Amino acid sequence: MAAISFHSFEDTIVKHTFNRIARTFGQNGKPIGILITKRPITATPEEIVANYKARSGKLRVIEKS
């Protein structure tokens, strides 16, 4: 699952939810999800020049295990 947030409050919700999922274990003793991105992926300076609104976007990814 991937989530893009554009505000810090949204990013906090996504971050805490993804961390909670990664810490939750299923019946087989394995975590339900594995964090793919430890830190959010943000726009590069070139992307910001091409699309100014991209400066506030943050991408976080978690994989179902």
What are the tens digits of pLDDT across the range 8-23? 999 999 999 999 999 9
* Domain membership of residue 27 as a residue range: 2-64
Query: What is the DSSP secondary-structure string of the chain?
Result: -EEEESSHHHHHHHHHHHHHHHH-B-TTSSBSEEES-SS-EE--HHHHHH-GGGGG-EEEEEEE-
Indicate if the pLDDT at residue 35 is higher than 90: yes
pLDDT above 90: residue 32: yes
Task: Report the share of the chain in percent with pLDDT over 70.
Answer: 100
> Residue 58 pLDDT > 90, yes or no?
yes
Looking at residue 34, what is its pLDDT? Answer: 95
Q: What is the mean pLDDT of residues 38-55?
A: 95
What is the count of structural domains for the chain? 1
